[in-house]
Structure 1
Amino acid sequence: METYTKEISIRWSDLDPNFHVRHSAYYDFGAQHRIEILEQMGLSMKVMQEQHFGPVLFREECVFRREIRLHSKVFISTKVGKIKADASRWTIVHELINENDELYATISVDGAWIDTKLRKIANPTPKIAAEVMNAMPKTTDFTTL
């Protein structure tokens, strides 16, 4: 898979009192997009429930470059920036851009897989998680952990 990009719809509830997208909505956009790409690649919520694992985040950061307003055209892309060989830990990077490829914001999340029964980091990760994570598109500065 080379890229996973989609257009985001900005809702009234995404705005703050200054009439631009509130900071926490960016994180919601990233979370939704991560789940959508995992689902599309076969790593559904059902699979995670059946195999008793799921993603857990250690760090989430957004760097804001331009304001997004209610009628802005916004596209989000998702790529892996860093990953361990067994895909147990990773960094996912989202870019929010406009129709002219101008950057609105970059969201970076560091995470891993958790065993939902033991409530501990899953290592090694279930096979499907490693397959999906390694198949995801990579950033231009991709590195292994």
Structure 2
Amino acid sequence: MTNPRILVLTTQIPIRWGDMDAYGHVNNTIYFRYMEQARVEFLEQIGCTLTPRGQAPVIINASCTFLIPINYPGVVEVRMFCGHPGRSSVQTHYEIRRQGDDTLYATGDAKIVWMDVATGKSVPIPESMRAALPA
């Protein structure tokens, strides 16, 4: 059985002139920034303090599939989905569109793992965070 994805956040991010590359479209690295912004907004929304001490969420892998180039000007809409959490991790998925356009421009994935900052080892997702994740 597959792990279903549940929509947990939709955010809009302005496309900046500096996001473009020499080909006149948003540089591939910026898509990861768009996904990161959505992820940070979601983690803050569920009460996660993003500090480099104690226990903190980290990304252990990330990917992006570029479907259609995005150009300046405009606003991107990033939809973030979560799978069901495991002991110490949760898989996230992203859909990137232009605001007001249902066309899918890119998709992405990232696995979030909670870790002990001092040891660098994974730890169980804190109960307060787990309660805010899809059941």
1:112 maps to what in 2? 113
Structure 2 gaps, min length 5: 1-5
TM-score with structure 2 setting the length: 0.84
8 Å Cα contact 2:7/2:82 also seen in 1: no
2:72 maps to what in 1? 70
Deviations 1:34-64, CA, capped at 9 Å, x for gaps? 0111112222325x74xx1112222111001
TM-score with structure 1 setting the length: 0.79
1:26 maps to what in 2? 31
- Give, as a single letter, the amino acid of the residue that structure 1 aligns with 2:35: G
Deviations 1:70-92, CA, capped at 9 Å, x for gaps? 113421111113531x3x12210
- Give aligned-pair identity as a percent: 29
**Structure 2 matches for 1:95-134, cutoff 5 A?**
95-98=95-98, 99-122=100-123, 124-134=124-134
Point out the structure with the larger helix share: 1
Structure 1 gaps, min length 5: 136-145
How far apart in 2 are the matches of 1:91 and 1:2?
Answer: 12
Q: Which of residues 54, 57, 60 is equivalent to 1:58?
A: 60
8 Å Cα contact 2:84/2:134 also seen in 1: no
8 Å Cα contact 1:58/1:111 also seen in 2: yes
1:39 maps to what in 2? 44
**Structure 2 matches for 1:11-22, cutoff 5 A?**
11-22=16-27
CA-atom RMSD, angstroms? 2.0
How far apart in 2 are the matches of 1:26 and 1:93?
Answer: 13
What stretches of structure 1 move > 6 A for 4+ residues in a row? Answer: none
Partner SS state of residue 131, structure 2: helix
8 Å Cα contact 1:80/1:91 also seen in 2: yes
How far apart in 2 are the matches of 1:100 and 1:14?
Answer: 20
The count of residues paired between Structure 1 and Structure 2 equals 129
Q: Which of residues 4, 8, 23 is equivalent to 2:9?
A: 4
User: Judging changes above 3 Å, is the alpha-carbon distance between structure 1 residues 114 and 45 closer, same or farther for their aligned structure 2 residues?
Assistant: same
- Give, as a single letter, the amino acid of the residue that structure 1 aligns with 2:80: T
Partner SS state of residue 125, structure 1: coil
Deviations 1:93-114, CA, capped at 9 Å, x for gaps? 1110122211010010123111
